[in-house]
């Protein structure tokens, strides 16, 4: 978020571009994120969702969001852990957030050199999305399944991804703290 904040004014000359925040967001930076971005693709807690909703309400906008699921159970990665109960709490409360539009799910699976190794993680996220979609919960749409990056996006698409992040394939490698991904959606 800090890197984009320095470039936000210059980026506004690109008409028709929606800027999505991807990656962990601390709840104390929610207001700045709502100001800078058109969507947040990494909701990982009730607290963050509530802060984003309040900030979006103050700005008079509706913010599209994705719920990030940590399908690999990696401690070093953000996202809601499977079985934590946090996903259920978010789904139950989503209808109360009038300034958030829950559009779907996102994941970053464990990095595996062979893209086929990511398939079970992509399949698991699709299964979770399908179960949520079948419930027809108020305030929730499950039309976005954001999974797949430059090295494994083909497998992700085969498993149902509607959104891939392929910045490394386009821009090349960057330092880990400044890695940028471009979001493409079909």
Banded pLDDT at 180 (limits 50, 70, 90): very low
- The pTM of this model reads 0.86
Residues contacting residue 57 through CB under 8 Å, at least 6 positions apart: 98, 99
- Residue 118 neighbours by CB distance under 10 Å: 26
Give the pLDDT score at 2. 62
Q: How far apart are CA 30 and CA 27, in angstroms?
A: 5
Chain centre to alpha carbon of residue 113: 23
Q: Is residue 175 over pLDDT 80?
A: no
Q: Is residue 46 over pLDDT 50?
A: yes
Give the pLDDT score at 13. 59
Q: Is residue 21 over pLDDT 90?
A: no
- Average pLDDT, stretch 17-36? 88
Q: What is the mean pLDDT of the chain?
A: 87
Q: How far apart are CA 91 and CA 131, in angstroms?
A: 12
């Amino acid at each position: 978020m800090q890197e984009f904040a320095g470039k936000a004014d210059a980026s506004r000359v690109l008409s028709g571009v929606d800027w999505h925040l991807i990656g962990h967001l601390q709840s104390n930076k929610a207001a700045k994120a709502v100001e800078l971005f058109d969507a947040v693709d990494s909701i990982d807690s009730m607290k963050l969702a509530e802060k984003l909703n309040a900030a979006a309400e103050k700005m008079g906008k509706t913010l599209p969001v994705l719920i990030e699921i940590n399908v690999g159970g990696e401690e070093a990665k953000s996202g809601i852990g499977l079985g934590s109960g946090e996903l259920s709490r978010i789904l139950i409360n989503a209808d109360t957030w009038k300034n958030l539009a829950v559009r779907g799910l996102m994941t970053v699976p464990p990095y595996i050199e062979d893209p086929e190794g990511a398939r079970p993680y992509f399949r698991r996220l699709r299964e979770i999305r399908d179960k949520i979609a079948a419930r027809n919960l108020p305030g929730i749409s499950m039309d976005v399944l954001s999974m797949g990056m430059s090295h494994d996006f083909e497998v992700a698409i085969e498993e149902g991804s509607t959104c891939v992040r392929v910045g490394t394939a386009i821009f090349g490698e960057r330092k880990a703290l400044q890695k940028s991904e471009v979001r493409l959606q079909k």
